[in-house]
Amino acid sequence: MTRVTNFNAGPAALPLPALERAQRELLDLEGTGMSVLEHSHREPPYEAIHREALGLLRRMLAVPDTHHILFMQGGARAQFALVPMNLLHPGRSADHLVTGTWAKQAWEEASLVGAACGATARVAATTEREGRFVRVPAADELALDPGASYVHLTSNNTLFGTQWSVFPDVGEVPLVADMTSDLLTRPIDVARFGLIYAGAQKNLGPAGVTVVLVRKDLLDGARTDIPQIFRYRSFASSDSLFNTPPTFAIYMMRNTLAALEERGGLPALHAENQAKAARLHAAIDANPSMWRAPVERASRSMMNVVFRLPTEALEKAFLAQAAREGMVGLQGHRSVGGIRASLYNAVRLADVERLVEFMEAFERSHGG
């Protein structure tokens, strides 16, 4: 078996030890005589995994006692709706910072939820120019409403490859962040956020489970005119066992988090993530006749490094040759094209070194 080097944008590479552990015990979890897939979510073997996953997140992210950790389903897409359904009250408004495709969809979904209950989702800033986003806004570009129910932003833009390196000061208004593509890749002060959500399938585990960190006091005033299954409170009061959770996805997230903690936890992940992105950006910047990064330097993502070659034909040749050498998942999002290397936690510095060596060889053979 030869494993490829996987730069997928998500679902994405997982740590090999996490997969090997799952493979080893897939027919028999810890001598229980059944697969984790067959265990009841109300019995000790699964409950221990569930609690361990919650504990790993709390420890690795230094989540304070002021915040719940929830496991939900539906991905960030569901959170686009659930945040306003829970926290946007009739007659109020929410501020959205629009820095990419997903941020825009979050605003559109909040607008629909608002329209149905007499509330509003405002665009408090957008960096869209001709359908593209190449930067995050500066502080003085934010037209914030001090009376907003919350401010929503997308911390990392997977599609165009931009990222908030410093989060904006929004005063007393709760800050809500979609961190689907960069939670657990750099230190964050969770206390600064009212709510953080992240689909697991980039840095935390597989597709099928969504992590939500939410300030407990925000739930006291949350709306109760919505279905119980869509209330954060239902999950907060049941340790995310309100209904049958996606048990295997949570199990694989536990395996992934345990492997990442074993590697040194957040400090080690952050250092390696910085080194990976720096290495790849340096290679791009070193030869402007072959590589071009469309994103403004200060807004460059550490997670999704997006670049172009001089022609689409060269991009096609680059992707094909990379695939032949066992490096896959490098095509840009179908809506923008180009090259995108996603450097999530399971991608190692050695993988990036390999990619850079390949780029240098490609330059030589294609006269860059």
The minimum distance between CB 39 and a copy of itself, in angstroms, equals 6
The encoded tokens of residue 264 equal 């040194």
For residues 58 and 77, which CB has a smaller minimum distance to a copy of itself in the complex? Answer: 77
For residues 19 and 219, which CB has a smaller minimum distance to a copy of itself in the complex? Answer: 19
Q: Which of 298, 293, 306, 366 is nearest to 342 (CA)?
A: 306
The minimum distance between CB 146 and a copy of itself, in angstroms, equals 27
The minimum distance between CB 337 and a copy of itself, in angstroms, equals 14
What is the rounded distance in angstroms from the CA atom of residue 182 to the CA atom of residue 301?
Answer: 9
316 given a catalytic annotation: no
For residues 226 and 349, which CB has a smaller minimum distance to a copy of itself in the complex? Answer: 226
For residues 39 and 67, which CB has a smaller minimum distance to a copy of itself in the complex? Answer: 39
* In contact, 123 and 114? CB cutoff 8 Å: no
The minimum distance between CB 367 and a copy of itself, in angstroms, equals 31
Q: Which of 210, 22, 182 is nearest to 100 (CA)?
A: 182
* In contact, 127 and 134? CB cutoff 8 Å: yes
The minimum distance between CB 289 and a copy of itself, in angstroms, equals 31
The minimum distance between CB 2 and a copy of itself, in angstroms, equals 6
Task: State the pairing for strand pair 195-199/175-178.
Answer: parallel
Catalytic residue among 95, 178, 182, 351: 178
What is the rounded distance in angstroms from the CA atom of residue 177 to the CA atom of residue 152?
Answer: 6
Residues 6+ away with beta carbon under 8 Å from 300: 161, 162, 163, 277, 281, 293
178 given a catalytic annotation: yes
What is the rounded distance in angstroms from the CA atom of residue 192 to the CA atom of residue 115?
Answer: 29
For residues 144 and 341, which CB has a smaller minimum distance to a copy of itself in the complex? Answer: 341
What is the rounded distance in angstroms from the CA atom of residue 322 to the CA atom of residue 308?
Answer: 15
* In contact, 216 and 236? CB cutoff 8 Å: yes
The encoded tokens of residue 148 equal 């907003």
For residues 6 and 162, which CB has a smaller minimum distance to a copy of itself in the complex? Answer: 6
β-bridge partners, 153: 177
Report how far Cα 73 is from the mean position of its chain's Cα atoms. Answer: 14
Q: Which of 284, 303, 293 is nearest to 341 (CA)?
A: 303
Residues 6+ away with beta carbon under 8 Å from 55: none
202 given a catalytic annotation: yes
The minimum distance between CB 310 and a copy of itself, in angstroms, equals 26
For residues 13 and 87, which CB has a smaller minimum distance to a copy of itself in the complex? Answer: 13
The encoded tokens of residue 104 equal 């825009």
Catalytic residue among 102, 107, 164, 291: 102
Burial (0-12, 13-18, 19+ Cβ within 10 Å), 184:
buried
Q: What is the DSSP letter of 26?
A: S
- Give the residue numbers marked as catalytic: 102, 178, 202
